[in-house]
Amino acid sequence: MQKINLRDLIDKFKLKIIADTDCDMPCITVADLNRPGLELTGYFDYFAYDRIQILGRTEISYLEGLPKNILKARLEKFFSYDIPCVIITRDLIPPEELTLVARKYQKPVLGSPAATTQFMSRLTDFLESMLAPRTTIHGVLVDIYGIGILIIGESGIGKSETAIELIKRGHRLVADDAVEIKQVAKNVLVGTAPKLIRHFLEVRGLGVIDVKTIFGAGSIRNDIKIELVAELVEWEKYKEDDRLGLEEEKIKILDSNITKKTIPIRPGRNLAAILEVAAMDFRLKAFGYNAALEFSKRLLEEINKDKKNLQ
């Protein structure tokens, strides 16, 4: 499970600490946010207490209008839950009872000058990105015509050499050797390189080279959505089941199913050109054109014509 320390969140969004805690700052594990409307009225049956609690103008105005005894009782109940923190937007000043009860239960209360809706949108995007499920895969990730292609295969099969040829053709490197992948949505994977090896590429016989320095800033990219996986295999190990490409192979990464192409290699095959064609063909399929289906359709039409002629 991914976690974000609240201190990192404070630094990222430059939040003001209204009520501090003597304990260590908690870790955030849930990307969703909660505006406690019904809870402040006393209804806690379905309280999403594991989320960051956001108080805007509506919530603060409501609290200020409550009688002191009811206000304290509601806040006592609210802060008794194991909430990670409370963030008050628009630089609003909360009732004094709120900060007193928050300190009593050791719950951090933070402030932001941003408008509530705007702040929640930015915070949700950040949390979803940072808390997304992730993994690391051995391979090379490149940007070919705007399509993120993850090249995988056995060590030494030629992934990095293929990446160099693609870079020379004007495409961009995202990651070499280790590709960090996070799932930002269902069947949506984003890949990047670990910070230590970002923009570097290893070539056997040459060692490590700096792609950005040699080929320029236009040859690299920090991250990209992975839309296609190309597995390089030795010619002898390649099993040819569907030469037309009618059946689409899938590979599961995290909880996402990504289109996969298995490409056999042997001396004389231009892998960079093949991957360029694979990227263009993938884009055509996204627009609704499938060459394999079109060919199969034409073939079937010709067979039916021949049958009629024979009759």
Is 202 annotated to bind a ligand? Reply is: yes
The single-letter code of the amino acid at 166 is L
Is 159 catalytic? The answer is yes
The token pair at 49 is 């207490």
Residue 138 among the catalytic residues: yes
Q: Is 218 annotated as a binding residue?
A: no
User: For residues 153 and 137, what is the distance between their CA atoms, to the nearest angstrom?
Assistant: 11
Nearest one of 206, 224, 230, 219 to 168, comparing CA atoms: 219
158 appears as a binding residue in the annotation: yes
Cross-strand pairs, 228? 149, 259
Give yes or no: 243 in active site.
yes
Name the catalytic one among 3, 16, 104, 138.
138
**296 is annotated as contributing to ligand binding:** no
Annotated binding residue 56: no
Residue 160 marked as a ligand binder: yes
Question: According to the annotation, is 77 in a ligand binding site?
Answer: no
Measuring CA to CA, which residue among 39, 36, 6, 35 is closest to residue 21?
6
* Catalytic site residue from 68, 195, 243, 252: 243
**Of 8, 20, 50, 177, which is the active-site residue?**
177
Read off the DSSP letter of residue 290.
-
Q: Residues 149, 276: contact at Cβ < 8 Å?
A: no
Spatial separation of the C-alpha atoms in residues 250 and 228, rounded to whole Å: 9
Binding residues for ATP, as ranges, are 153-160
Binding residues, as ranges, are 153-160, 202
Active site residues: 138, 159, 177, 243
Binding residues for Mg(2+), as ranges, are 160, 202
